[in-house]
Chain A
Amino acid sequence: MLIDICVPASGGEYMDAVVVVQWCVATGQPVKAGQTLVVVETAKTSIDIDAPAGGVMGDILVREGTEAPIGGVLARLMAEEGGVAALSSPATSEAVDAGAAATGAAAAGAAAAAAAPAHAAAPAAAESASAQSAGKTARADAPDPADATAASAPAAGRQAVSPAARKAARERGLDLTGVKASSPTGRIKLRDLPPARAASQPDSGLYLQRRGGGLGDPIVFIHGFGGDTVSWTPLLAFLNADRPAVLLDLPSHGRSARRKVQSVQDLADCVAATLHAQGLDKVHLVGHSLGGAVAMLVAADGSIDVRSLALLAPAGLGRDVNGGFIRGFAQAADVLALTPWLRMLVADTGLIDDTIAALAMEARADPALRQAQQDMAEALFAGASTLPHDLRDVLMSLDMPRKIIWGELDRIIPWRHALGLDGASALHLLPGVGHVPQFEAAQRVADLIDELVRSAS
């Protein structure tokens, strides 16, 4: 019989939708009861939705990177006769647990979340735990999908799998049974796993996520060095809901593939190609820090029609930048090392508590990711504290409506870089705010962006 696979009801207090992160099965594929079908993200955490019964996977109705409302139908499953478990699937009760954990004392929930991935070693699939968070959370309580399926696999002798493949499968929630080993050794290797989503995206391979709907031209948000899509969540809560938000992960950040980058122009080219491949040829751009420099170059490039440009503490308007911060942040390999750098990002250091620091470190747990970012920093920031591009002329060559929003207490890039331009970009200098205005003054920044976007439409 045909079963609806739905979005669980308690994905978190402040969200009425989830984002589909990854489908773990394809239409027509046989599935077992308890096998993870799809991973979705809520405001607080990420959830595996498992098959309530064995059978064959049916139509997938909501594609990856898209939102679905709570209770909405994500897909259908043709269940085996007599094999149907209760529709309140184990996944749903896990979601309840996850939700409760997260909505309970934030510290407790986040601590559990932070503790869990030490075992799973999975920096992927994370979400901010609360409006306060500046970094990622890890999976809360979700059982290791590989273990779950191994438990239900037929006892047919141990499968030889390379450690790297095993780790990747675990991180991506892949079932290894049925995977064929191409190596003459009979050992399953990385190349035998189904391609990672990042690699399967057309052309550019940058990870992209859409939120919300509406008829207006989408606003594309580009994060800064060391950041990712998740960092926009607090801001999105305050934005007008009349148009979609598109969040991008820069190369070697978040879920985007690692890529060797020689210049900010390279980054801009990647972003433009991604947008174009997704049919996003007319957009508003919002860029933070390094993402601001990227946004300026994309706007100037002309291949994408940029309707308005909001720059939050952008890089590229001046030569001096806090190089010690860039290096220190990129290198920090544990919470103790990362915390002082997080505190340097904001004006009120009280905003960075142990929970947030732990979650932020979790998002950077992968040493290969950190190394890729360090390599990028070396390529982009030649010398200790200078930027290779002076984008002032680029900015002044643009003609779409633009705003520069900066915290007066920014210790990473001095707000004074915004001075001495041509007067065509509005400068909003926020008192008591550091380098991340979208976090420290989310409401104000959202209002300014709404105003800019309205004026440009």
Chain B
Amino acid sequence: MALMRYAEALNAALREEMARDPNVFLFGEDIATYGGVFKVTKGLLEEFGAARVRDTPISEQTLAAMAVSAAMTGTRPVLEIMYADFMPLVLDALINQASVYEYIWAGQVQMPFVLRTQGGGGAGAGAQHSKSLDALIAHIPGLKVVAPANPADAKGLLKAAIRDAQPVVFLEHKLLYNMRDEVPDGDYVVEIGKARCVREGGDVSLFATSRMVVECLKAAELLAAEGVSAEVIDLRSLRPLDLNAIKRSVAKTHHAVVVNEGWRFCGYAAELSATIMDHAFDELDAPVQRVAMPDMAVPYSEPLEMAVLPNAQKIAAAARKALA
């Protein structure tokens, strides 16, 4: 075990996987010489050389397509897309290429690549650098989508993602990079598709990923002071979803709050809500409550930005509404 930052845990995962498999290579903007704008790839150029750690021109659309076809022909690329807000440029490669080939070519190819990006608001980065586009990405068949909420999962999930035979979109959060926590040493791998109960409770279930897990834990504290016992489930994988964990928790508490930092309408939380409806309808003692961003651009000024982001207060209020 070692205490380390989320960014350092990612770095360790990359280092270990690159040492383990010579076909793993990294490319992206500013990742080599500078070590990445969030320092996730720091030191890797020195250790593994310029052939395997490459700075690229600003060409997200092409880089993503290259990741797809490179993965198809024997290597395991890890592409960094600096901001999730640039994902729309990447969507053609994901939707029209990565999503279709395994099926339409009847299993002739696999595409084991990882696309790492970071998103989320709260840093004053403005409307074009603060988004969470989880719904757009999780909607795509043929991909896996994961979002670690703490350093240990950051390391474990990134290793799993790199080793996975399918494309994985790896969603980091700009406000989690400095989170410090215990990370297991060595070859620590977290299974994709498995959620984790990070706080047990009996009255209401709070489901979230990424930084929203932190907000849910704070909400659980607020609720505990009122005598309400909240269970917090860190989904970890947006796709595939750990259905058993969701069913188990809702069967226990009968009340569900789903939280996602993306926009509310047609957002990821809407899928969670539908999933709970499909699979745990008879366990619900109240409608599923959704906490998400209002359908608007993320504003810049601090009071404005804080007003739109989901937070512990809003989550606790949703829990109270469910329990009313």
Q: Which of A164, A183, A371 contacts B283 (CB 8 A)?
A: A164
Q: Is B252 in contact with A163, judged by CB distance below 8 angstroms? A: no
Which residues of chain A have C-beta atoms less than 8 A from B251's C-beta?
Answer: 367-368, 371
User: Would A167 and B282 count as touching, CB distance under 8 A?
Assistant: yes
Instruction: Give the contacting residue for A189; candidates B247, B283, B285; CB below 8 A.
Output: B285
Nearest Cβ distance between residue B97 and chain A, in whole angstroms?
38
Choose one: A164, A183, A371; the contact of B324 (CB below 8 Å).
A183
| B65 within 8 A of partner (CB) | no
Chain B nearest Cβ from A332, distance in angstroms = 15
Task: Tell me, yes or no, whether B248 is within 8 Å of chain A by CB.
Answer: yes
Q: A190 is contacted by which of B248, B252, B254 (Cβ under 8 Å)?
A: B254
A367-B251, A371-B248 known; A163-B281 Cβ under 8 A: yes
Q: B224 at interface (Cβ–Cβ under 8 A)?
A: no
The answer to whether B284 and A162 touch across the interface, beta carbons within 8 angstroms, is yes
| Nearest CB of A to B207, in Å | 18
**Distance between Cα atoms of A162 and B285 in the complex (Å):** 5
Closest CB of chain B to A433's CB: distance in Å?
37
- Please, which residues of chain B bring their CB within 8 A of the CB of A166? 282
The yes or no answer to A187 lying at the interface (CB within 8 A) is: yes
A190-B254, A371-B248, A371-B251 in contact; A163/B283 too (CB < 8 A)?
Answer: yes
Asked if A189 contacts B286 (CB within 8 A), the reply is: yes
- Residues of B close to A185: CB separation below 8 A: 286, 324
Minimum CB–CB distance from B273 to chain A (whole Å) comes to: 14
A216 CA to B254 CA, complexed, in Å: 45
Which interface residue of A164, A166, A184, A190 has the most chain B CB atoms within 10 A? A164
| B273-294 interface code vs A (CB 8 A; 1 in, 0 out) | 0000000011111100000000
B247 & A163 in contact (Cβ 8 Å cutoff):
no
B324 to chain A, nearest CB (A): 6
Residue pair A163, B248 in contact (C-beta under 8 Å): no
Residues of B within 8 A of A367 (CB): 247-248, 251
Q: Is A9 an interface residue (CB 8 A)?
A: no
Chain B, Cβ-Cβ closest to A190: B285
- A:278-313 near B, CB below 8 Å: none
Residues in A neighbouring B281, C-beta threshold 8 A: 163
Q: Which residues of chain B are within 8 angstroms of A163 by Cβ–Cβ distance?
A: 281-285
Are A164 and B247 touching (Cβ within 8 A)? no
Q: Which residues of B contact A164 (CB under 8 A)?
A: 254, 282-285
A400 is an interface residue with CB less than 8 A from chain B:
no
* A29, B285: Cα distance in complex, Å: 27
User: Which residues in B have their C-beta under 8 angstroms from that of A183?
Assistant: 286, 324
Dominant secondary structure at the A interface: helix
**How far apart are the CA atoms of A299 and B104 in the complex, in Å?**
68
- Chain A residues with Cβ below 8 Å from B285 are 162-165, 189-190
CA distance in complex: A190, B283 (Å): 10
The CA-CA distance from A248 to B18 in the complex, in Å, is: 60
**A184 B324 Cβ-Cβ under 8 A:** yes
Give the docked Cα–Cα distance between A189 and B252 (Å): 15
Q: How far is the CA of A165 from the CA of B281 in the complex (A)?
A: 11
- Determine whether A121 belongs to the interface, using a CB cutoff of 8 Å to chain B: yes
Question: What residues of chain A lie closer than 8 Å to B254, measured between beta carbons?
Answer: 162, 164, 190
Convert B249-265 into 0s and 1s, putting 1 for each residue whose CB lies closer than 8 angstroms to a CB of A: 00110100000000000
Please give, as numbers and ranges, the residues of chain B lying within 8 Å of A368 by CB-CB distance.
251-252
Q: Which residue of B lies closest to A371 (CB)?
A: B248
- A187: B residues at CB distance < 8 A: 286
Q: Name B281's closest neighbour in chain A (CB-CB).
A: A163
Q: How far is the CB of B286 from chain A (nearest CB, A)?
A: 6
A residues 152-184 near B (Cβ < 8 Å) are 162-167, 183-184
Complex Cα spacing A305 to B282, Å = 44
**In whole angstroms, how far apart are the Cα atoms of A19 and B314 in the complex?**
51
Chain B minimum-CB-distance residue to A182: B324
Which chain B residue has the least Cβ–Cβ distance from A164? B285
Contacts of B324 in A (CB 8 A): 183-185
CB distance from A228 to the nearest CB of B (A): 20
Docked Cα-Cα span, A378 to B252, in Å, equals: 18
* Chain A window 129-168, contacts with chain B (Cβ cutoff 8 Å), 1 for yes, 0 for no: 0000000000000000000000000000000001111110
Choose among A163, A167, A187, A368 the residue with the greatest number of B CB atoms under 10 Å from its CB.
A163
Question: Scoring B residues 297 to 324 as 1 if CB is less than 8 Å from chain A, else 0, what string do you get?
Answer: 0000000000000000000000000001
Q: Tell me the smallest distance from the CB of A192 to a CB of chain B, in Å.
A: 10
State in angstroms the CA–CA spacing of A184 and B285 once bound together: 14
Interface set, chain A 241-282, CB cutoff 8 A to B? none
Q: Is the CB of B247 within 8 A of A121?
A: no
CA gap between A367 and B282 in the complex, in Å = 12
Tell me whether A121 and B282 are in contact (CB under 8 A).
Answer: yes
Residues of B within 8 A of A189 (CB): 285-286
Name the residue among B281, B286, B324 with the largest chain A CB count within 10 angstroms.
Answer: B286
Residues in B whose Cβ lies below 8 Å from that of A371: 248, 251
Q: B250's closest neighbor in chain A, by CB?
A: A164
Give the shortest distance, in Å, between B117 (CB) and chain A (any CB): 36
Q: Separation in Å of the A199 CB from the closest CB of chain B?
A: 14
Interface string of B220-252 (1 = CB under 8 A from A): 000000000000000000000000000110011
Which chain A residues border B248 with CB–CB below 8 Å? 367, 371
In whole Å, how far is A379's beta carbon from the nearest beta carbon of chain B?
14
| A165 surroundings in chain B (CB, below 8 A) | 285
A121 to B280, CA, bound (A): 13
Most buried by A among B254, B281, B285, B324: B285
Taking CB atoms and an 8 Å cut-off, the chain B residues in 115-162 that contact chain A are: none
Chain B residue with the shortest CB-CB distance to A258 = B252
- List B contacts of A162 (CB < 8 A): 254, 284-286
Per-residue CB contact flags for chain A residues 199-243 toward chain B (1 = under 8 Å, else 0) read 000000000000000000000000000000000000000000000
Of the candidates B247, B281, B284, the one having the most CB atoms from chain A within 10 angstroms of its own CB is: B284
8 A Cβ contacts from A426-444 to B:
none
Which residue of A has the minimal Cβ distance to B286?
A162
Known A164-B254, A164-B285; 18 more pairs at CB < 8 Å: A162-B254, A162-B284, A162-B285, A162-B286, A163-B284, A164-B283, A164-B284, A165-B285, A167-B282, A167-B283, A183-B324, A184-B324, A185-B286, A189-B285, A189-B286, A190-B285, A367-B251, A371-B248
Q: List 24 A-B contacts (CB under 8 A).
A: A121-B282, A162-B254, A162-B284, A162-B285, A163-B281, A163-B282, A163-B283, A163-B284, A163-B285, A164-B283, A164-B285, A165-B285, A166-B282, A183-B286, A183-B324, A185-B286, A187-B286, A189-B285, A189-B286, A190-B254, A367-B251, A368-B251, A368-B252, A371-B251
Q: A residues within 8 Å of B by Cβ?
A: 121, 162-167, 183-185, 187, 189-190, 367-368, 371
Residues in chain B within 8 A of chain A (CB atoms):
247-248, 251-252, 254, 281-286, 324
Shortest Cβ-Cβ A-B pairs, 6 listed: A164-B285, A167-B282, A162-B285, A368-B251, A163-B282, A163-B284
